[in-house]
Amino acid sequence: AKQEGGNCYRFYDSAQDGANASKLNIENDLRKALDKGEFIIHYQPKVDLCSGEITGLEALVRWQHPERGLVPPLEFIPVAEETGLIVPLGKWVLEEACRQMKQWHERGYAKLGIAVNFSSRQFRDKNMVSHVARTLQLSGLDPECLEIELTESIMQNVKESLVILSELKQLGVHISIDDFGTGYSSLSYLKHLPIDTLKVDKSFVDDIALSPKDEAIIRTIVDMGNHLQLNIVAEGVENKQQAQALMACRCKIGQGYYFSKPLPHNEVELLFRNVYLN
Ligand code: C2E
Ligand code: CA
Ligand code: CA
Ligand code: CA
């Protein structure tokens, strides 16, 4: 493991480390971490750009490692995907996120939705839909309040994806396309698949206030979304200029550090209070 700047360590991601460490060791580490309950979820709000109200939360997993501190997902999700451990890890994230959101609903907070990220390996797992159904049932969360975020990579097989997405839609959950615009995917899938929301990738938001091209792209995605009855969420909003430029493009929802970083559950509750108790 080599130390990075800040308080996190990089230990599984580089080609050298990854190739040298045996997969079995890494797999064991992740499996033990799962057994020991070392994973935690941080929640990042999605915000109404006009009113500032929270419209939903996204669950983002972290590894609370006893020695290494808080390990960000990009340092273990790729290995979890390679080893297949993303399936049990993803199940835990889904169960915990649904449980937590249901608890917030029961405690009287606004009935927000919770978005959970699924990698394509999780998406194609043959028990996925039944696990989602069971998790909704066990948690008691209203299916309308669960949103599953998928990347365009699932569009490599539109026929297969249509079958799975239709089953998910029958449960009543929402489907979002994450990192929209970066997947080198044809737009034709939007015609065929039951998708509710496009999350415009941060790379288009970064320079929206400076670059007429990025602005034109976002404006066009928002217009397309209106015509196709898709919600549009802008990812990675970091400052007021970007938020204003997004509103000028009639984008309604944003997510990013400008509003809030992903936060542990107790800190999210403080945000709820700030926004809703007036
Ligand atoms: P993502 O789904 O695209 O999530 C957005 C990432 O951007 C998050 O990083 C978030 O913290 C970060 N972010 C949000 N707003 C801003 C901003 O204004 N500026 C910048 N620079 N970054 C911002 P995070 O939490 O490190 O997650 C990285 C990726 O790991 C996620 O990207 C997602 O692909 C994956 N991931 C996280 N949790 C899970 C999970 O439970 N399951 C799966 N399969 N993947 C996950
Ligand atoms: Ca996401
Ligand atoms: Ca994203
Ligand atoms: Ca991403």
pLDDT in tens, the chain (278 residues): 444 444 444 555 555 555 555 566 777 889 999 999 999 999 999 999 999 999 999 999 999 998 889 999 999 999 999 989 999 999 999 999 999 999 999 999 999 999 999 999 999 999 999 999 999 999 999 999 999 999 999 988 999 999 999 999 999 999 999 999 998 778 889 999 999 999 999 999 999 999 999 999 999 999 999 999 999 999 999 999 999 999 999 999 999 999 999 999 999 999 887 654 33
> Which residue puts its alpha carbon closest to atom 11 of ligand 1?
262
Dihedral over Cα of 107, 43, 143, 137: its sign: negative
Q: Compute, in angstroms, the gap from residue 50 CA to the centroid of ligand 2.
A: 22
pLDDT score recorded for residue 183 = 86
Closest atom, ligand 1, to C-alpha of 118: 44
CB 204 within 8 A of CB 225: no
Of the candidates 135, 83, 86, 88, which has an alpha carbon nearest to the alpha carbon of residue 114?
135
Based on its alpha-carbon atoms, the radius of gyration of the chain, rounded to whole angstroms, reads 19
Which residue bears the tokens 């309040």? 145
Q: How far is the CA of 198 from the centre of ligand 3 (A)?
A: 10
Residues lining ligand 1, Cβ inside 6 A: 44, 60-61, 72-74, 77, 86, 90, 93, 117-119, 178-179, 236-238, 255-257, 262
How many CA atoms lie less than 13 Å away from 56 in the CB half-sphere? 23
The contacts of residue 197 (CB under 8 Å, 6+ apart) are 147, 174, 175, 176, 177, 230, 231, 232, 233
Atom of ligand 1 nearest to the CA of 201: 3
Q: Which ligand is nearest to the CA of 199?
A: 3
Q: How far is the CA of 66 from the centre of ligand 2 (A)?
A: 26
Half-sphere exposure (CA, 13 Å, Cβ side) for 133?
Answer: 10
3-state class of 168 per DSSP?
A: helix
Q: Choose among 160, 113, 8, 143: nearest CA to 71.
A: 8
Centroid of chain to Cα 61: 9
Ligand 3 centroid to 20 CA: how many Å? Answer: 30
- pLDDT at position 22 is 58
Closest CA to 209 of 244, 238, 182: 244
ipTM over 0.95: yes
pLDDT at 10: 53
The protein residue with its alpha carbon nearest to ligand 1, atom 25, reads 60
CA 278 to centroid of ligand 1, rounded, Å: 31
Nearest ligand 1 atom, CA 122: 44
